[in-house]
Structure 1
Amino acid sequence: MKINLNANLFVLVLIFVGCFFYSQIRPETIYGDYNGYWISKDNSAAYVITQETNNLTGFTIGGITYATGVNNQSLVDHSVPNIIQENYQAFPSSLATIGASLVGVPRYVSGVEQTQLNAPSLSCANALGYYLRDGIHGLDLSTAVFNIPKQNLTFNVNVLADINPSCISDNIPDIIVTQVGQPSGSYDIFKFIDATGATVGTEQQIKFSTVTPSGQAKWNFYFAANCPHDYNSGLSGTNRDTRILAFKLSDFGITAANYTSAIKFVQVLSGESDVAFTAYSTNSMSLYCLENAVTTGTALDTKAGITSLNRAGSSASNDNWPMVRKGGFLALESNKKPLVITRTTTANLANITNPVEGMMVFDTSENCLKIYVNSAIGWKCFNKKTCP
């Protein structure tokens, strides 16, 4: 009886472990725009090591390639089979603690090797979070922050709103996570939380040291805590493996019953994490977030304007209008005439046969300004602050 009990426990443990690792998926192949078109290989001996900018253009899971929206046409032009046109965007993020972190950038810039004597000037005006969301759609695999101290990776999210319930069970990846340095044996934790900070569904604990690499890159490193960011000659010019995992919403236990409670996505860093970006599918969810205004640098003049105050071109006013209104493309000014954009009902939005992303109308049925997001999400009320 005792032997049978142990055997049963052993079987249960195997089943649990198998389910645990099945919930996160390592892409068989990843694609990038390094040298125009780049493809990884499973066998590390066959890696084409990236040495310049490389934005993630796609990844293959189970024979299906998910285009990220960076350059979907490139995958088509290179006859990549079974493409699903998706769109992914890096989460906006910031780091609360810098510690001994390093900024990682490509070894080469425009074909020129970067050394201690010929190193790029990294602006101290960029917060470290910038390197977790730069590149096209924020999906740059060739810039990262290394050796990030243990902390919650703070996504500047006010409300992670409007998870598309039809995407919960569609078997298309919704979250992409990265590890681009030497992984430790510790766990990174990924989860959705509600307004009280409680986990919605289940969290995913990932030990990246057990994940097979999907690619490799040559890096230069700079000390993040110093300004200017000093060149790290001891580590620069060395290669690091690239690891990527993809998750579905259902992997986090998100269901039709609880998805409205998930207002934030959190990554709990192990203390030795090396992150290029963490990204989400814009077809699966809309992201509303808050960021501080940019107050540094030189504000440019606004070169064009429409005014009902008889100031444009008037030497009597002598106030340099509209150039005095800084940082805009167009200045509109009146004390009695409002701006009115196209007004329509919700039903009549269907009459706009070829909407483009960013198009705006005022929906008289829902009494809100609406912006067209994409074909999967459609028109959404613009009523929360968001990142640019």
Structure 2
Amino acid sequence: MIYINYSFRIKLVYPFAPHLLTQSFLILHTTLLAFTFDGTAYSTGVNDATLTSHGVVYAAGSVRALRVAGIAGNSSGSSSTYAALAKKVDGSATVANAPAVAGYSVKTALTDGINGLDLGTGITNLPTAAIMTFSIFNITPSKIADNEPDIIITQIAQPVAGNDFFSFIDASGSVVGTSISQDMTLLARFGTYDLDLFNLTPNTPWNTATVYSAAIPSTNREIRLVGFRLSDFGITSLNVGQIKALKITPSGNSDYAFIAYNANAINIPPNISQNDAATNTTIRNGGVANLAVIGSSSSGEALNYS
């Protein structure tokens, strides 16, 4: 069971119940409020008051999307890697309005919404070369053996055979514990939603590719989620201190709305990366040079500027 919030309403979504999500995603952005894992409901910390007011019994949690600082590789211009946006994100319920969402990048689609937990936007069919690595400052040892999921993976389109790989790695890039391989076709769907698929800028680094044109308007896709505990990765009190990052290798069929982590267990350091799309490195006489950065706070903290 998952709990989602859309337009100030809450909807309970049960596994194997087709089309329960369809109406909700016709609104706009949809935020994950809570989910059930091994029989226990955990909140994400987005809006616990809403859960309480609707009589939901839950364990309070803190879940955040991993902030994408860099993605390896380039768009080919001929792939089926699309920006997947819920039907009215572009302002229209009838057409795919590409100009209205031209600023959507891969990074934006994977990290937008409160705490980055928007289920209504994402990226489909990330190629195997689009490897993502997320730095980890440390992990709370007492969280290793508990039953709360520490990594949450979303699947928001049509899964096909092929496994994504998730690994904690050390400073040299070697796997700590064991890698987890997940075949998304084996997951039960929670429901479906209506969306538009948009092409991304062709022959461009994934870090700068944005919505380019409409690809497949007014279509319908399925929603799946899966959670993993630190212990599922073979993490113990003996090797937890070796972890420096989480590495994700897509299968080529990966359709993510976000990749999230338990902020009560995993401490992600602050991150600053160059915003390639808004930075110009070649200017003419009398021109203006621009350097833009993307700043991400550490787990549970806010950014301060001076």
Q: TM-score range by the shorter chain?
A: 0.7 to 0.9
From 57, 60, 64, the equivalent of 1:85 is 60
- TM-superposed CA distance for 1:72, in Å, is 1.3
Residue matched to 1:32: 4
1:188 paired with 2:167, answer no
- Change in 2 beyond 3 A, CA 1:156/1:171: closer
- TM-superposed CA distance for 1:39, in Å, is 1.8
Residue matched to 1:285: 266
From 200, 222, 225, the equivalent of 1:224 is 200
Aligned pairs (5 A) from 1:292-371: 292-294=273-275, 296=278
In structure 2, what residue type is equivalent to 1:214? F
Higher RCO by CA contacts (8 Å cutoff, separation 6 or greater): 2
Q: Over residues 104-158 of structure 1, what are the superposed CA-to-partner deviations in whole Å (9 max), with x where a residue is unaligned? A: 1110249851514x5562234x54122111111011111001121112532352x
Q: Over residues 192-247 of structure 1, what are the superposed CA-to-partner deviations in whole Å (9 max), with x where a residue is unaligned? A: 01111111001111111111112221111110125662112xx2211111110011
Residue matched to 1:54: 30
Q: Percent identity?
A: 30
Residue matched to 2:228: 247
- Change in 2 beyond 3 A, CA 1:237/1:289: same
**Kept in 2: contact 1:114–1:220 (CA 8 A):** no
- TM-superposed CA distance for 1:289, in Å, is 4.8
* Structure 1 vs Structure 2 CA RMSD: 2.7
Residue matched to 1:155: 133
In structure 1, what residue type is equivalent to 2:100? S
Q: 2:37 & 2:219 partners in 1: Cα distance?
A: 29
- Change in 2 beyond 3 A, CA 1:286/1:230: same
**Kept in 1: contact 2:178–2:234 (CA 8 A):** yes
Matched residue SS, 1:95: coil
1:106 paired with 2:78, answer no
- TM-superposed CA distance for 1:73, in Å, is 1.3
Residue matched to 1:354: none
**Kept in 2: contact 1:95–1:153 (CA 8 A):** yes
Residue matched to 1:123: 102
Q: 1:111 & 1:149 partners in 2: Cα distance?
A: 29
Bigger CA radius of gyration: 1
1:211 paired with 2:187, answer yes
Which runs of 5 or more residues in structure 1 are unaligned? 1-28, 298-326, 328-357, 359-370, 375-384
Q: 1:108 & 1:123 partners in 2: Cα distance?
A: 14
- Whose strand fraction is larger, Structure 1's or Structure 2's? 2
- Change in 2 beyond 3 A, CA 1:217/1:228: closer
Q: 2:125 & 2:134 partners in 1: Cα distance?
A: 21
Q: TM-score under structure 2 normalisation?
A: 0.80
Matched residue SS, 1:229: strand
- TM-superposed CA distance for 1:87, in Å, is 0.6
Runs of 4+ in structure 1 over 4 Å off: 109-112, 371-374
Residue matched to 1:139: 117
Q: Over residues 26-58 of structure 1, what are the superposed CA-to-partner deviations in whole Å (9 max), with x where a residue is unaligned? A: xxx111112421221223336231222111111
